[in-house]
């Protein structure tokens, strides 16, 4: 059974992440929101710190930090790398989501490496900074529609294709690229490849201008006869038609709870700011009085807080299941769907209830409203998550329920 009390060993790292959010991220949040695509040099200190802790065996960054420490035989309740990564994502996103996505060695590609790499690959790639390249101009949420190809040529894979909306695609040291090794075998032939940023044939076509998370770079990548070593394919190179798309989709079981945690983090920031504004306006939020007997703004605050709490608990459950080697595809999508929707609801409602103050740049509320929207889109949209949940609950395949 899941234990909802955080263990002491995770509280310490979560507190450290919160200090980073409060003392480094918050003070520079507006600066890099207004200076889109400018690299946050303040993060270089963090990069050195994370690299040093990794070298000393801390495993606070990279793929190793997202891989569960639990053995295959568990004794009741384990909280490992997935839970630690989730709490760190939550706390740093409380500070700034865009800056959180720019932390060196903490890319979404690292979670992909943790999900499907072999032990030998984890040793090689466990401490890199990896972004993740899935989406292409021809598709968005349908990850099975990958057209990028990977052809084996001697001891090298040759990749060709175009990837769009790659978070940290310019700054990361490596990119996890989804490509098909045999288009005739459909989605079962889609594999993940670790491509170094300096690999011949890999280039950045442009950086996107965005509504939010402006501190984070979002790149369009071109792969033109891009060559990488043969053993840079994550997991097994064999195409298992019976297994289908399940192998590479394991990535999302790790990353979706992390994105949910980001939404939980920015949602908590908005609730805290809103509560202070309401208090200054003389609106008291009471937990002893029925909502219908309170100020309308207080009643709305209670609704938002209840949704936020549900999102938080769903995210914890998904990460806990991953650490305890329990299939969590359903729970990962549930947490992402709930938290993504709640994050936008909470932040935008906070802007509304704060009135002109919320809409201005006097606070960070309007920025959090813009930042939170991406968390309901990337790693699978709200609609895709609900579709996955429906398939799992009803026992339907993707062919049976579209």
Q: What is the pLDDT of residue 54?
A: 52
What separation in angstroms does the CA of 82 have from each of 103, 166, 268? 17, 22, 21
Q: What is the pLDDT of residue 71?
A: 43
Range of weakest confidence among 19-33, 126-140, 211-225, 365-379: 126-140
Q: Hey, what CATH topology would domain 1-402 get?
A: Butyryl-CoA Dehydrogenase, subunit A; domain 3 (1.20.140)
- Measured from the Cβ of residue 123, the count of other Cβ atoms closer than 10 Å reads 11
Q: Are 381 and 141 in contact (CB under 8 A)?
A: yes
Q: What is the pLDDT of residue 56?
A: 42
Q: What is the pLDDT of residue 267?
A: 98
Return the closest-CA partner of residue 110 out of 92, 134, 85: 85
CA distance 359 to 363: 8
Residue with structure tokens 């990896």? 130
Q: What is the pLDDT of residue 130?
A: 95
pTM of structure: 0.92
| Whole-angstrom Cα Rg for the chain | 21
CA distance 70 to 81: 9
Instruction: Give the pLDDT confidence of 108-138 residue by residue, as tens digits.
Output: 898 888 888 888 999 999 889 999 999 999 8
Q: What percent of the chain has pLDDT over 90?
A: 69
Q: What is the mean pLDDT of residues 257-262?
A: 96
Residue 59 pLDDT more than 50?
Answer: no
Q: To the nearest whole number, what is the mean pLDDT of the chain?
A: 89
Active-site residue flag, 136: no
What separation in angstroms does the CA of 43 have from each of 55, 345, 358? 18, 30, 28
Domains of the chain, by residue range, sit at 1-402
Choice between 359 and 110, residue whose per-residue pLDDT is larger: 359
Residues of 317-326 as b/e, b for ≥16 C-beta within 10 angstroms? bbbbbbbbee
Q: Which residue of the set 91, 136, 331, 379 is catalytic?
A: 379
Instruction: Give the pLDDT confidence of 131-149 residue by residue, as tens digits.
Output: 999 999 988 777 778 999 9
Q: What percent of the chain has pLDDT over 70?
A: 90
């Amino acid at each position: 059974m899941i234990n909802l009390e955080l263990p002491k060993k995770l509280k310490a790292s979560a507190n450290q992440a919160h200090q980073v959010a409060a003392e480094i991220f918050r003070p520079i949040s507006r600066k890099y929101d207004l200076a889109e695509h400018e690299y946050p040099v303040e993060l270089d200190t963090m990069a050195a710190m994370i690299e040093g802790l990794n070298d000393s065996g801390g495993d606070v960054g990279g793929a190793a930090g997202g891989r569960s420490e639990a053995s295959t035989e568990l004794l009741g309740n384990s909280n490992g790398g997935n839970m630690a990564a989730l709490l760190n994502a939550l706390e740093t996103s409380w500070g700034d989501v865009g800056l959180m996505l720019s932390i060196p060695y903490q890319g979404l590609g690292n979670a992909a490496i943790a999900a499907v790499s072999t032990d030998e690959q984890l040793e090689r790639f466990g401490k890199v900074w990896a972004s993740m390249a899935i989406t292409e101009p021809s598709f968005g949420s349908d990850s099975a529609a990958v057209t990028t190809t990977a052809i084996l040529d001697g001891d090298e894979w040759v990749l060709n294709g175009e990837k769009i909306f790659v978070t940290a695609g310019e700054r990361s040291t490596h990119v996890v690229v989804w490509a098909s090794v045999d288009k005739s075998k459909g989605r079962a032939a889609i594999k993940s490849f670790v491509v170094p940023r300096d690999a011949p044939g890999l280039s950045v076509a442009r950086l996107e201008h965005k509504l939010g998370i402006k501190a984070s770079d979002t790149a369009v990548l071109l792969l033109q006869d891009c060559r990488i070593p043969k053993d840079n394919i994550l997991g097994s190179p064999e195409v298992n038609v019976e297994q289908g798309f399940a192998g590479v989709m394991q990535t999302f079981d790790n990353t979706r709870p992390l994105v949910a945690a980001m939404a939980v983090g920015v949602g908590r920031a908005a609730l805290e700011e809103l509560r202070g504004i309401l208090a200054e306006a003389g609106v008291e939020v009471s937990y002893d009085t029925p909502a219908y007997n309170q100020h309308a703004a207080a009643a709305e605050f209670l609704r938002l807080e209840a949704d936020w709490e549900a999102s938080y608990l769903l995210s914890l459950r998904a990460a806990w299941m991953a650490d305890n080697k329990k299939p969590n595809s359903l729970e990962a999508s549930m947490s992402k769907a709930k938290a993504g929707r709640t994050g936008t609801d909470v932040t935008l409602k906070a802007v509304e209830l704060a009135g002109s103050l919320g809409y201005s740049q006097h606070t960070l509320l309007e920025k959090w409203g813009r930042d939170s929207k991406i968390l309901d889109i990337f790693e699978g949209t709200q609609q895709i998550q609900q579709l996955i949940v429906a398939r799992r609950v009803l026992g339907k395949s993707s062919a049976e329920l579209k």
